[in-house]
């Protein structure tokens, strides 16, 4: 039997179970996990923890028809000639299937029907402990009745007016504090400070999104021209972003210390490409421990800070739009933050007339034209 250690998405695995293409040998033990075990599995996945291997056996179409198979708990389908048998990982796959597909089946070894849900408030706050919850009902019918009552109540409620989320940007003082903090703190693992300085600059000096930092490869870097290529970004667009000498020096140093010349640029402490959770934790830690943290300050604030710095340098909106990779100027406008400090430097109409008049005299005296 040939081994193929490939990868499949959870979505694809569950679709094959629901379709009856993945089955269980009839001699395997039944699904035995309890509801809390199911919640723990989901929470470990949310935190990017290792969840073990799934061992699948490719079945011969003719032999598969002759053997006796069981379906995964909750799924009642078995194809006449199933494609794969689950040899290891039944408990995990059955848990995922039951929680996501909500089959009309009582929970194993229970007399109740269980429904699993995700606490979005905890998820958004990255508080994964207890983020997956469950309730039990006497039957599937009682669950459906409850859902109908909720729909009836919801239809009578008025949707509150959506308020624009406050978007925070970093001041020059904030940036300096974070730079000093990251450079001088005690490292938790080798080259952590160097890595986090690069992450910070990729945000405030290049305007990269979280997903773009994660997907960035060494092959995307052009050190000769000081530019990096963003491939397959949000909306499927590619774009080029430029970096300064400070970031270039840090990148080259990071490249030498890591001994890496291909693949993922930003790595976690285990040497693999950094994950979303670790990336957010690194920036949140920098905010909090440097003393600049305030509500509304997130990883995405680095990108807003980059856009704001371009505006203050006098870049045209269309250029800012291109560097951020936006499809419309309307989206770019959300990244522009006009403050009271900007108003102070805005001359009154009478002052503008004086500025134009005095500039005209100065140019005429020097023999220049407009």
Q: For residue 164, is it within any domain?
A: no
Q: Which region among 15-29, 267-281, 333-347 has the lowest average model confidence (pLDDT)?
A: 333-347
| pLDDT at residue number 154 | 64
Q: Which region among 21-35, 153-167, 312-326 has the lowest average model confidence (pLDDT)?
A: 153-167
Residue 247 and residue 128 share a domain: no
Residue 102 and residue 20 share a domain: yes
| pLDDT at residue number 343 | 46
| pLDDT at residue number 177 | 96
Q: Is the pLDDT of residue 365 over 60?
A: no
Q: For residue 165, is it within any domain?
A: no
**What proportion of the chain, given as a percentage, has pLDDT over 70?**
84
Residue 180 and residue 307 share a domain: yes
Residue 118 and residue 217 share a domain: no
Residue 136 and residue 176 share a domain: no
Q: For residue 3, is it within any domain?
A: no
On average, the pLDDT of the chain sits at 81
| pLDDT at residue number 362 | 54
| pLDDT at residue number 195 | 94
Q: For residue 162, is it within any domain?
A: no
Q: Which two tokens stand for residue 208?
A: 């990269």
Q: Which two tokens stand for residue 143?
A: 């669950």
Which residue, 281, 273, 326, 274, is CA-closest to 304?
Answer: 326
Q: For residue 280, is it within any domain?
A: yes
Residue 197 and residue 331 share a domain: yes
Which is more confident, 27 or 248?
248
Residue 356 and residue 290 share a domain: no
Range of 299's domain?
Answer: 172-337
Residues 208, 303 contacting (CB under 8 angstroms)? yes
Q: Is the pLDDT of residue 232 over 70?
A: yes
Residues 108, 37 contacting (CB under 8 angstroms)? no
Mean pLDDT in residue range 233-245: 85
| pLDDT at residue number 25 | 87
**What proportion of the chain, given as a percentage, has pLDDT over 90?**
27
- Report pLDDT digits (tens) over 52-100: 788 888 898 888 888 888 888 888 788 888 888 888 888 888 888 888 8
- Report pLDDT digits (tens) over 128-183: 777 888 888 777 777 777 777 767 766 666 665 655 556 689 999 999 999 999 99
| pLDDT at residue number 114 | 82
Confidence band for 357, pLDDT divided at 50, 70 and 90: very low
Q: For residue 317, is it within any domain?
A: yes
Mean pLDDT in residue range 302-329: 88
- Report pLDDT digits (tens) over 255-313: 888 776 788 899 988 888 898 888 999 999 999 999 999 988 999 999 999 999 998 88
Q: For residue 161, is it within any domain?
A: no
| pLDDT at residue number 243 | 92
- Structural domains in the chain (count): 3
Q: For residue 21, is it within any domain?
A: yes
Residue 198 and residue 49 share a domain: no
Residue 149 and residue 19 share a domain: yes
Residues 296, 168 contacting (CB under 8 angstroms)? yes
| pLDDT at residue number 236 | 72
| pLDDT at residue number 337 | 67
Residue 351 and residue 293 share a domain: no
| pLDDT at residue number 353 | 44
| Residue showing tokens 């140019």 | 363
Residue 58 and residue 79 share a domain: yes
pTM for the model: 0.53
Residue 353 and residue 330 share a domain: no
| pLDDT at residue number 65 | 83
Q: Is the pLDDT of residue 127 over 50?
A: yes
């Amino acid at each position: 039997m040939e081994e193929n250690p490939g990868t499949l998405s959870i979505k694809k695995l569950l679709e094959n179970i629901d379709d009856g293409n993945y089955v269980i040998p009839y001699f395997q033990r039944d699904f035995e996990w309890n509801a809390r075990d199911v919640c723990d599995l989901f929470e470990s996945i949310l935190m990017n923890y290792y969840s073990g291997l799934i061992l699948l056996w490719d079945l011969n179409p003719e032999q598969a028809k002759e053997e006796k198979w069981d379906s995964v708990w909750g799924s009642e389908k078995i194809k006449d000639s199933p494609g794969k048998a689950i040899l290891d990982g039944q408990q995990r796959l059955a848990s995922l299937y039951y929680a996501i597909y909500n089959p009309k089946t009582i929970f194993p070894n229970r007399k109740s029907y269980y429904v699993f849900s995700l606490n979005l408030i905890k998820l958004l706050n990255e508080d994964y402990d207890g983020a997956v919850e469950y309730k039990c009902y006497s039957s599937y019918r009682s669950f459906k009745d409850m859902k109908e009552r909720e729909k009836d109540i919801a239809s009578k409620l008025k949707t509150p007016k959506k308020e624009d989320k406050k978007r925070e940007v970093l001041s020059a003082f904030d940036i300096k504090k974070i730079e000093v903090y990251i450079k001088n703190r005690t490292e938790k693992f080798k080259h952590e400070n160097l890595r986090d300085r690069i992450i910070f600059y990729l945000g405030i000096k290049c305007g990269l999104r979280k997903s773009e930092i994660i997907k960035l490869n060494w092959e995307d870097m052009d050190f000769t021209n000081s530019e990096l290529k963003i491939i397959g970004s949000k909306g499927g667009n590619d774009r080029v972003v430029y970096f300064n000498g400070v970031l270039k020096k840090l990148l080259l140093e990071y490249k030498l210390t890591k001994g890496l010349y291909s693949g993922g640029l930003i790595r976690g402490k285990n040497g693999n490409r950094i994950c979303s959770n670790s990336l957010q934790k690194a920036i949140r830690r920098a905010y909090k421990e440097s003393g600049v943290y305030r509500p509304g300050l997130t990883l995405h604030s680095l990108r807003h800070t980059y856009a704001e710095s371009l505006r203050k340098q006098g870049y045209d909106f269309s250029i800012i739009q291109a560097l951020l990779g936006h499809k419309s100027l309307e989206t770019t406008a959300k990244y522009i933050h006009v403050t009271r400090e900007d108003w102070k430097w805005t001359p009154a109409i009478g002052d503008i007339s004086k500025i134009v008049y005095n500039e005209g005299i100065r140019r005429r005296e020097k023999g220049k034209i407009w």
